[in-house]
Amino acid sequence: MVATSGTVGTTVAFQDSAQDIQTENEALHAENEELREQLSETREDEKAAKSRAEDLNEQLKTRNEDVDTLVSELEKKEKMLNASQARLAESRENRAGMSRSEMKKRLDYLCAQPENRDRFGCQEFGPGG
C-alpha cells in the first residue's frame, strides 16, 4: 500500500507540476502574443513615420526649389533695379549739364521717333505741339 500511495503521490505531484507548467506556458503564450501585437504596432508606427518623413522631405524639397526660384527672380530684379538706378544717375548727370534749349532740342529729337511719342508724351509737348 505504501508503494501505491507513493505512486499516487508522485503522480499527483507530476500532475501539479504539469499543471503549473501548463499555466506558465499559457501565461508566456499570452505575453508572447501581446509582445507580437506591440511589435506589429511598432512596425506600423515606424512605417507610418517613415511615410510621413518621406512626405515632409518631398515638401521640403519643393519649398527649397520655390525658394531657389524666388531668390533667382529677386537677383534678376535687383540687377534690373541697379541698372535702372545707374541709368537714372547718368540721366541726371547729363541733364544737369544741359541748358533748357538743349533739353528742348533733345526732346524734339526723341519725339521725332514714332516709337518714343507715347513714352515721352510727345503728343502734348513735341514738335508742332
| Ranges 14-18, 35-39, 102-106, 120-124: which has the least confidence | 120-124
Q: What is the pTM of this model?
A: 0.45
Is residue 48 located within the same domain as residue 106?
no
Residues 67-87: tens digit of each pLDDT: 999 999 999 999 999 998 988
Residues 20-38: tens digit of each pLDDT: 999 999 999 999 999 999 9
Is residue 22 located within the same domain as residue 45?
yes
Query: What per-residue confidence (pLDDT) applies to 129?
Result: 43
Instruction: For residues 95 and 110, give the distance between their C-alpha atoms in angstroms, rounded to a whole number.
Output: 14
Is residue 34 located within the same domain as residue 82?
yes
- Name the residue range of residue 73's domain: 2-97
Give the count of domains, the chain.
2
Is residue 91 located within the same domain as residue 103?
no
- Tell me how far CA of residue 115 lies from CA of 22, 79, 87, 109, 119, in angstroms: 102, 25, 19, 12, 8
* Torsions phi, psi for 79 (to 5 deg): -60, -45
Residue of 86, 88, 125, 80 lying closest to 106 (CA atoms): 125
Is residue 92 located within the same domain as residue 32?
yes
Is residue 21 located within the same domain as residue 84?
yes
CB 88 within 8 A of CB 104: no
